[in-house]
Structures are given as structure tokens and as C-alpha cells.
């Protein structure tokens, strides 16, 4: 696998966690109850921790002396490689939980598969992250069941959240040139295989929640190659403006 | 292994109580096991009974088994 492809491949996982972590951090101080506020920010910090390891490693692979901060704070929208799903706005609590359900089940399968990667560093990061994501998955699945099998209003709302975010799930499983190169060199994951497992797991949760699994329709795509929705620009502006204003600042 | 009270929280049911307790009270590696009990199931002694309940034990040193030699294999004493 070429160095540049390797870099891009690691960067995709790094950006997935970084952007989702930043999004979830917006819940800090706004959670529906104190306990859930802490739960969401715990998950946010887990994701940002994963992003730090992955960004640091991506910088090493690239070999241009960019560290985690350089990569997180000094890239623009078009250089971000996260899927569109994770940059979507938090919306109401159900919207956030539906997004988490899709991403948590996805990352669990990804990290589980990356635990077999021939890339030693990626494997070590995946093994550590797997335990964290196992809890995230339980957290969002439990909530989807509660909301789906809850009141009439909560059921209607969570079903709507699931339906409206469904079009962002197709991109998660697209295999492009970089994915194939990573797979063929024993570093990466077969997203086609993951897709079936993911769908089965999501169907199981939705079934327990008395919710309906959406039909596959037209799917949004572009995040993995840097074509993002306008939401990402605002997210990056908030995340990046202080380091850009004070690039040499130290804690 | 002794469990100790670390705090109270809100939850809709028992399972959520365990998750919330994990999130709120074990973030700094305090946890290896969690018990959650609904507060309505707890009967507590009254603070005004404190002296009558606990002070009389103060001068009964003979109740501590410190006058015995215990074999090393005996743990958790």
C-alpha cells in the first residue's frame, strides 16, 4: 500500500472519531438530565481520545512532521475525511441517539476487524478502542429501545430520526480505491462484510424497540473524499478558531 | 471486597441506574463492581440516634480480635 493511501486510510478513522467527538461535546451542559449529560460527554472524550491516537499515527505515516494538533486544527473542510453521518447536527436527543446507534454499531465492527490488522499500530489502537465502543453501543441501543418502546411521542420522534439519518449510512460501507488497497495489503477492513453484520445488528435493536427498519433509498456520499455538508464548516470554525488565533499557545 | 456508598442518581429503571452509575461515579477508575438500590428500599438509622447507636462501642476494645495470633494464610481480616 502506498504511503499516501495509508495516510488517507488512517485519517478516515481519525476524522470519524474526531468529528463525532466534537459534535457530542456540544451536549456538554445541555443534556436532558445530569446523568445523561455526563454519559454523552464521556463518550465524546472516548472518541476524541481515539482520534488523538489515530491522528498522531496518521502524522507518522505521512512523514511530514504534522502532529495531532496540526492535523486537527490546521486542515480545512475539504481535507477532512469523515463520513457525512458524523458531521450531522445534534438535533434533539433522539436525533443524536439515532446517529450514535448507527455510528456505535459501525465502529464496534470496524475496531473488531481492525484488531486483526497487519498494521501493528492500527491494531493496538483498535484493541483499546473496542472496549470503549462496546459501551457506547450499549448506551445508544438501550436508549433506542427505551424511546421506541416508550410513549407514543417518543416512538414517533425516534422513528423519524432513524428515517431521516438513514441516507447517511450507505457511505459507511462504500469500498473505493483506498479501501481496496488497505484490504488487499491486510491492513484494512472489508466494508461489504461489515455491512451485512451491521444491518443485522441494527435490525435486532429496532425490532426490540418496536421500530421499523427504513428501506434503502438514495444514499448521500462524499465525506470520505472531502465533499462535505455545510455543517462541517461551522463545526470546524468552533473547534479551530482558538488554535488558529494563537498557534503557539501552550496549556 | 467491600462496596461503599458513592452517591445517588436519577434513573428510569434498574438497568439505567447501573449505566448512569458507571458514567457518573466510575470515570476516574474507582469502579470494579456496581450495586444500585432504589432509595425507597433503603431504611436508614436516624442521625439523632447516632450517640445511642454507636458511642457505646467506643470503650470495648476487647471486641477487636487483635489479641489473637492469626495464621498468614487468613486473608481479609
User: Which ipTM score applies to this complex?
Assistant: 0.77
For chain A, the distance separating the N- and C-terminal CA atoms, rounded to the nearest angstrom, is 38
pLDDT tier at A217, thresholds 50, 70, 90 = very high
- The predicted model gives B22-28 an average pLDDT of 91
Q: Which DSSP category does A216 fall into?
A: P
**Among A108-112, B3-7, B10-14, the range of highest mean pLDDT:** A108-112
A108, A110, A99: which is closest to A40 by C-alpha? A99
* Mean pLDDT of chain B, nearest integer: 88
Q: Chain A within 8 Å of B12 (Cβ-Cβ)?
A: yes
Question: How much is the pLDDT for B11?
Answer: 93
Q: How far apart are CA A241 and CA A41, in angstroms?
A: 21
Q: Does the predicted model carry a pTM greater than 0.95?
A: no
Residues of A in contact with B11 (CB under 8 A): 35
Question: How far apart are the CA of B18 and the nearest CA of chain A, in angstroms?
Answer: 11
pLDDT in tens, A108-123: 999 999 999 999 999 9
Q: Computed from CA positions of residues A168, A40, A37, A75, in that sequence, does the dihedral angle turn out positive or negative?
A: negative
What is the Cα Rg of chain B in Å?
18
Q: Chain B within 8 Å of A131 (Cβ-Cβ)?
A: no
Domains of chain A: 3-245 (1.20.1260.10)
Instruction: Report the residue from A33, A34, A142 with minimal CB separation from B19.
Output: A142
Range 40-69 of A in CB contact (< 8 A) with B: 42
A81, A131, A92: which is closest to A111 by C-alpha? A131
**Among A235-239, B50-54, B69-73, the range of highest mean pLDDT:** A235-239
- The predicted model gives B16-38 an average pLDDT of 92
Q: How far apart are CA A45 and CA A42, in angstroms?
A: 5
For helices A191-208 and A120-148, angle between their N-to-C axes, nearest 10 degrees:
20
Q: How far apart are CA A177 and CA A195, in angstroms?
A: 18
- The predicted model gives A195-202 an average pLDDT of 98
Question: Quick check: B10 and A146 CB within 8 A?
Answer: no
Question: How much is the pLDDT for A56?
Answer: 98
Give the number of A-B residue pairs with CB atoms closer than 8 Å: 27
* Mean pLDDT of chain A, nearest integer: 97
pLDDT in tens, A4-40: 999 999 999 999 999 999 999 999 999 999 999 999 9
Asked if residues B23 and A138 have their Cβ atoms less than 8 Å apart, the reply is: no
Amino acid at each position: 500500500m502506498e504511503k499516501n493511501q495509508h495516510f488517507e486510510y488512517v485519517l478516515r478513522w481519525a476524522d470519524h472519531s474526531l468529528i463525532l467527538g466534537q459534535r457530542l461535546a456540544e451536549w456538554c451542559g445541555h443534556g436532558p438530565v445530569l446523568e445523561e449529560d455526563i454519559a454523552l460527554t464521556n463518550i465524546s472524550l472516548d472518541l476524541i481520545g481515539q482520534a488523538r491516537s489515530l491522528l498522531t499515527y496518521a502524522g507518522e505515516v505521512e512523514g511530514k512532521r504534522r502532529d495531532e494538533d496540526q492535523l486537527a486544527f490546521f486542515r480545512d473542510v475539504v481535507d477532512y475525511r469523515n463520513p457525512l453521518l458524523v458531521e450531522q447536527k445534534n438535533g434533539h436527543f433522539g436525533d443524536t441517539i439515532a446517529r450514535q446507534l448507527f455510528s456505535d454499531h459501525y465502529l464496534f465492527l470496524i475496531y473488531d476487524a481492525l484488531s486483526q490488522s497487519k498494521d501493528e499500530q492500527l491494531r493496538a489502537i483498535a484493541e483499546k478502542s473496542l472496549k470503549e465502543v462496546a459501551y457506547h453501543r450499549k448506551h445508544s441501543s438501550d436508549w433506542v429501545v427505551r424511546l421506541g418502546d416508550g410513549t407514543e411521542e417518543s416512538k414517533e420522534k425516534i422513528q423519524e430520526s432513524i428515517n431521516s439519518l438513514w441516507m447517511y449510512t450507505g457511505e459507511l460501507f462504500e469500498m473505493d480505491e483506498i479501501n481496496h488497497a488497505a484490504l488487499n495489503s491486510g491492513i484494512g477492513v472489508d466494508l461489504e462484510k461489515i455491512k451485512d453484520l451491521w444491518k443485522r445488528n441494527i435490525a435486532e435493536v429496532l425490532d426490540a424497540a418496536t421500530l421499523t427498519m427504513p428501506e434503502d433509498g438514495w444514499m448521500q456520499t462524499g465525506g470520505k473524499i472531502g465533499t462535505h455538508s455545510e455543517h462541517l464548516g461551522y463545526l470546524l470554525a468552533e473547534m479551530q478558531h482558538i488554535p488558529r488565533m494563537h498557534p503557539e499557545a501552550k496549556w | 471486597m467491600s462496596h461503599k456508598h458513592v452517591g445517588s442518581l436519577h434513573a428510569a429503571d434498574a438497568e439505567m441506574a447501573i449505566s448512569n452509575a458507571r458514567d457518573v461515579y466510575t470515570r476516574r477508575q474507582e469502579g470494579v463492581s456496581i450495586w444500585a438500590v432504589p432509595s425507597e428500599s433503603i431504611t436508614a438509622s436516624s442521625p439523632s440516634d447516632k450517640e445511642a447507636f454507636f458511642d457505646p462501642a467506643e470503650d470495648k476494645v476487647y471486641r477487636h480480635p487483635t489479641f489473637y495470633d492469626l495464621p498468614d494464610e487468613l486473608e481479609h481480616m
